[in-house]
Amino acid sequence: MDGRIFRMRTLGGRSGAARTLLLVGLAFSIIPNGSVSPPYMYLGQIALGLTLIPALCLPIRRHETRLLVRIALILLGALSLYTGLQAVPQPPGGLAHATWATVGEIIAIPNGYLSINPWRSLDALPRMLLPALVFIGALLLSQEDKPAKRLWVQLSALGGVVLALSIILEAIFQDTMFFSAHPAGYGTFSGVFVNRNVAASFFSITAFALLGAIAIYRADRASGAKASNLAGFPHLALLMGLALFACVIAIVLTRSRAGSLLSLPLLSFGLVFVFIPPLDNARKRANPLMILGVMAGITTLFFLALFGEPVLSRVETAHEGGRQCAYIGSLEAIRDNPVLGTGLGTFRDIFPAYRDPECMGTRGSWLQAHNSFLEFYLAVGLLALIVLAVAYHFILRTAIGGLHRRGRLRPLPFIVLALLLFVSLHSMVDFPLQIPGVAHYFAALLGTGMGLSLTPVSHHRHPPRRRTRPRGDENRKSSRRKENPT
């Protein structure tokens, strides 16, 4: 027994150290403009990769966790192998992209490649792998209820620190060049990030994280537990509520239409779900979605009426012809490369051939498709559909299972689903998951949310107590047997 306790304490110490290192690595990835451009992109990858090693070395103690880790590794392996194949020289008459035959007519090239730019594909591979490894590391750190809650709360605190730093930069140090070519006060509210859309995406994800921390606080207070170290602080709920409110204001101040109009309704749904627990009476629970929808709509309209003028003014003057033309060009490129794709990270190389100058003009260059799903499919072809289908299937199955498994903490899997929906919808009109800092933070929250969804509610059951007769009753019964022998 002593040896087992020693091993558990040692494992708990390793888990705590790995959790701290992961948070430090995420901070290095997020704060320098979201690690969106060199040299901070490569420095952030190195820092996060090194700090992630202890988490990835933790043992797997749950069958459900092992299944998710295996699925993630299989998908990662398939994408890595195919990306490597895209950068391997193909023999004449092989599967090389048609672009290489055109180039071969101009200059002598011995071999072609599946990718139209193999070196760019290899350079993009770590940016694809690292968020998945962060997801696995966070999942391994969340195999037990207590450390999983702590990690979620600490991730929400990290997002709050980034928000506070952004507010300080915008309010006080507007002329500071903070890891960027532009001063902090340049343009609309963007804080430590490269532009308003990236800032809105990160602040929205932080708002979901803070809402989840509030759900953990309420669940622990209701059960009298202190697993997350929150239940013992009565004023912490007010502090987290103020941080959540500041997050919502920051989202609106970015003037990002997609970030605001997608996140605020989902946050309102989550807020109502956290503060109005599900009813046990089936008759009272006749139309819970309708009630949640009405209250979420009222909350969203309230926020937009008070603080939404920057966003609503941009909605009135919206003109997204450029993005629509980019979607059309991307679909035409996919039509010409439906099976094998053009290579990971090669959108900027292939898109000029499909750019319509009458629709988009000729000024500037498009580095992203502003739709991560289209760009992913264009990069790796049919493999993208398989990877996305498998990943969404297991994530949705785990989170929906958590809704039935978590008891008082049922709002947290709901928040994870809302977070996934927000990021998915936002990725259809922008590219938040292609910003390393945002992708890493989202992956950490998603992995922790999966761990909390898999962890069943712990019930401390005592063994049934044997009913014993008082000694006096036993003596009287034995004396009666002596007086009346059978």
Question: How confident is the chain (486 residues) per 10-residue block, as mean pLDDT?
Answer: 46 81 97 91 95 96 94 97 94 85 77 93 95 98 94 96 94 84 79 91 97 91 63 71 90 87 88 71 47 57 53 50 88 96 95 89 84 97 97 97 88 96 96 96 98 73 46 50 49
Taken in order 249, 253, 254, 258, is the CA torsion positive or negative? positive
pTM higher than the cut 0.85: yes
What is the tens place of the pLDDT at every residue in 383-405? Answer: 999 999 999 999 999 999 999 88
Q: What is the pLDDT of residue 306?
A: 53
Q: In terms of DSSP H, where are the helices of 254-336?
A: 257-275, 288-307, 309-316, 321-336
Q: How many Cα atoms sit within 13 Å of 199 on the Cβ side?
A: 29
Provide the token pair at 171.
């309010």
Cβ-based neighbour number of residue 479 at 10 Å: 10
Q: What is the pLDDT of residue 110?
A: 77
What is the tens place of the pLDDT at every residue in 354-375? Answer: 998 888 887 878 889 999 999 9
What is the tens place of the pLDDT at every residue in 119-175? Answer: 999 999 999 999 999 999 999 999 999 999 999 999 999 999 999 999 999 988 888
User: Where are the chain's structural domains?
Assistant: 12-456
Q: What is the pLDDT of residue 318?
A: 47
